[in-house]
Amino acid sequence: MHPGSCVPEARKSLVFMRQSGEKPSSIVVRCPNWVGDLIMATPVFQSLRKGFPDTALHAVTRPYNQDIISDCPWLTSVIPCDDKSFRGMRSTAGKIRDVNPDWAILLPNSLRSYLPMRMAGVHQVFGYRRGIRKPLVQGPEPRRTSDGRYLPLPMIDYYLEICRWLGIEVPSRPKPSLFISEAFRRDAAELIARYGLAEDDLVIGLNPGAKFGSSKCWPPEYFARLADRLEEGLKAKLLLFVGPGEAEIAERIMGATTARLIDTGPDKIGLGLLKPMIQRCDLLITNDTGPRHYATALDRPVVVIMGPTDSRYTDANLEKTVVLRKDLPCSPCHKKTCTDGHACMKDILPDEVMDAASRLLRRENGDQP
């Protein structure tokens, strides 16, 4: 019988295993593909390490994400994953087979995330039982609303629900974590010195792009006007974070502002080096994209300009976060591009973002509750 075909019996066997003291010797975790989702999944690593301190724990992730978690002390290794083709799946399966896992935990909901595990011969595969792979894995079924739709949950809780189903203790107040190697710290220190940033400078990071699509992007001219106000009103030094394919956005901002923005684009700051660079910022102002979760994990204040996405998926750990969004009839639409005027972003004006930034900084400095 396939291990996923009789979930209640499978779960009973897991209970027996825990009671008898038997534990998996090796676990692989297939990580989410989006940067922000991966960061929100880090409490899963923490929970697994606490529950299985002597178990080898391997994260399987897309190559571009490796440096985000390569320094994580809870992980034994990070395995690069290519599951976009059959050839890639076969290669990934071989790498998984090399670590001989007893368990595979799937955080994405896709069939694609399951197939390399099956090809690698992993028999205990856990994840959400939904969609086409429902009969193939063991695990919880997603919660639903009264009308049968999937219930939007903060992703940090959504991922931890798999651990809870497995009987693994999870943090009472889970928070994402990022770790920084000495090599990345050294590289960041060199960049910071070259940019002329002193230790007592007020540094604000601006992140105007979004890999998801243009619908998540606040207008570049708004970022330009905001930069003018931040430099004039707060005497801040401004770092413009530019990801791959975002040079045009940066050029539009640089061409429309009188502020002395530091364009980091030419330095091609990768996702590993981005950690200490955001840690140096006293505040980050960003679209609803991966770097906002860097700020949360690194305990930095962040203003999030949110348009087409549902805030309930990220409604956690907001103590140092201000989320600005407009509740419009068309939102949240989750479309990658807007065909109807982009009001959800254009209606959020630079003055509103400036006020939120000033308020967060005052709060951080203890000037207001």
Q: Which two tokens stand for residue 147?
A: 């009308």
For 302-333, the pLDDT digits (tens) are 999 998 999 999 999 999 999 999 988 888 88
**Model confidence, pTM:** 0.92
- The parts of the chain modelled with pLDDT lower than 50 are 1-9, 16
Same domain? 217 vs 351: yes
Question: For residue 156, how many other CB atoms are within 10 A of its CB?
Answer: 26
In a domain, residue 65? The reply is yes
Residue 313 contacts residue 325 (beta carbons within 8 Å)? no
- Cα separation, 260 vs 231, whole angstroms: 8
In a domain, residue 179? The reply is no
Same domain? 226 vs 160: no
Same domain? 358 vs 245: yes
3-state secondary structure of 237: strand
Asked whether the CA dihedral 77, 116, 6, 102 is positive or negative, the reply is negative
| Crossing angle of helices 247-256 and 220-234, rounded to 10° | 50
> Residue 338's domain spans which residues?
184-364
For 100-139, the pLDDT digits (tens) are 999 999 999 999 999 999 999 999 999 999 999 999 999 9
Same domain? 160 vs 188: no
Residue 238 contacts residue 230 (beta carbons within 8 Å)? yes
Q: Could you tell me the CATH number of the domain that includes residue 65?
A: 3.40.50.2000
In a domain, residue 1? The reply is no
Select from 131, 165, 199 the last residue of a domain.
165
3-state secondary structure of 246: coil
Please give the pLDDT value at position 148: 87
- CA 223-227-232 angle, to 5 degrees, is 155
Same domain? 286 vs 227: yes
The number of domains in the chain is 2
In a domain, residue 211? The reply is yes
Please give the pLDDT value at position 12: 52
**Cα separation values, 98 from 28, 34, 121, 294, Å:** 11, 26, 11, 31
Q: What percent of the residues of the chain are helix, what percent strand, and what percent coil, each to the nearest 5?
A: 45, 15, 45
Same domain? 117 vs 197: no
Please give the pLDDT value at position 6: 38
Burial class of residue 122 (count of CB atoms within 10 Å of its CB; 0-12, 13-18, 19+): buried
Same domain? 199 vs 110: no
Please give the pLDDT value at position 5: 37
Please give the pLDDT value at position 329: 87
Same domain? 89 vs 221: no
- Encode burial over 264-295: b for 16+ CB neighbours within 10 A, e otherwise: bbeeebbbbbbbbbbbbbbbbbbbbbbbbbbb
Same domain? 134 vs 223: no
